[in-house]
Amino acid sequence: MSIATMVAELAKGMVVSTEVFVLTLLFSLPLGLILSFGRMSAHAPLCFLTKIYISLMRGTPFMLQLIVVYFAPFYIFGIKISAGYRFTAVILAFVLNYAAYFAEIYRAGIESIPVGQYEAAKVLGYNKVQTFFKIILPQVVKRILPPVTNETITLVKDTSLAFVLAVTEMFTVAKQIAAKEASMMPLMAAGAFYYIFNLVVAMVMERLEKKMNYFR
């Protein structure tokens, strides 16, 4: 197999990896925020439930979570699993897992905002929704960018775990070619792809950080 063909094959796999990456971020970032509200809630049962959820998501192997999400509809509800569910299950598992991590990052950010900001907003008459979205959240976003970058970079590499549910993303392609050609080359090339992807992610995040530098 020529190098050009190999790169073309890997690029096809990359499309799937990128889909997993984008969809996961798109849904887990807002879901994480909602979870962090539950985690910080004064309502004890709600707080307890989110705590358990986060603990399970962080404390069990992600590979197992992928399998559970894929097979649960059949084993628990007796629903026949269609082939199309594979990709959905991958996204669902990624979102559920990453949201747990993001929830804790949001919590750290929100709890780091001085209480004086809430008090100033209250005395000025802002309601709770305005206070959160206008006053608190912009400051939280600035503070959590570095840990979010960390998670995002991990996510790029984690997309390779989609192979567990036989979703053919880039690393799966690389392994198949490597096996067929009896060569390390495809795997190294895949490594280069991930590295470049992450360079771009890091650059974008650095830009965002710079953009938020207008205040301190």
CB 186 within 8 A of CB 172: no
Q: Which of 5, 55, 60, 117 binds another protein (CB under 8 A)?
A: 117
Pick the closer one to another protein by CB: 77 or 214: 214
Residues 131 and 119: their CA atoms lie apart, in Å, by 10
Among 138, 166, 180, 195, binds another protein (CB under 8 A): 138
Q: With binding defined as CB under 8 A, does residue 120 bind another protein?
A: yes
Identify which range of 18-26, 43-51, 96-104, 138-146 contacts another protein by CB under 8 A. Answer: 138-146
Backbone angles phi, psi at 79, to 5 degrees: -80, 135
Q: How far apart are CA 102 and CA 100, in angstroms?
A: 5
Binder of another protein out of 45, 59, 78, 116 (CB under 8 A):
116
Of 70-78, 87-95, 110-118, 150-158, the window that binds another protein (rule: CB under 8 A) is 110-118
Asked if residue 124 binds another protein (CB under 8 A), the reply is yes
Q: Three-class SS of residue 84?
A: coil
d(CA 173, CA 14): 9
Residue 132 found at the interface with another protein (CB under 8 A): no
Rg (CA), the chain: 21
The per-residue DSSP string of 111-139 comes to HTS-HHHHHHHHHHT--HHHIIIIIIHHH
Single out the segment in contact with another protein by CB under 8 A; choices: 46-54, 69-77, 118-126, 187-195: 118-126
Q: How far is the CB of 207 from another protein (least distance, A)?
A: 18
| Nearer Cβ to another protein (23/212) | 212
Judged by CB under 8 A, does residue 142 bind another protein? Answer: yes
42 lies in the binding site for another protein (CB under 8 A):
no
Q: Is 114 in the site for another protein (CB under 8 A)?
A: yes
Is 210 one of the binding residues for another protein (CB under 8 A)?
Answer: no
Q: How far apart are CA 212 and CA 59, in angstroms?
A: 33
Helix, strand and coil in the chain, % to nearest 5: 85, 0, 15
Residue 153 Cα distances to 21, 52, 59, 129, 158, angstroms? 10, 26, 20, 31, 9
Give the one residue of 126, 153, 175, 187 binding another protein; rule: CB under 8 A: 126
Quote the distance between the C-alpha of residue 22 and its chain's center.
Answer: 9
Contacts with another protein by CB under 8 A lie at 114, 116-117, 119-120, 122-126, 130, 134-135, 138-139, 142, 214-216
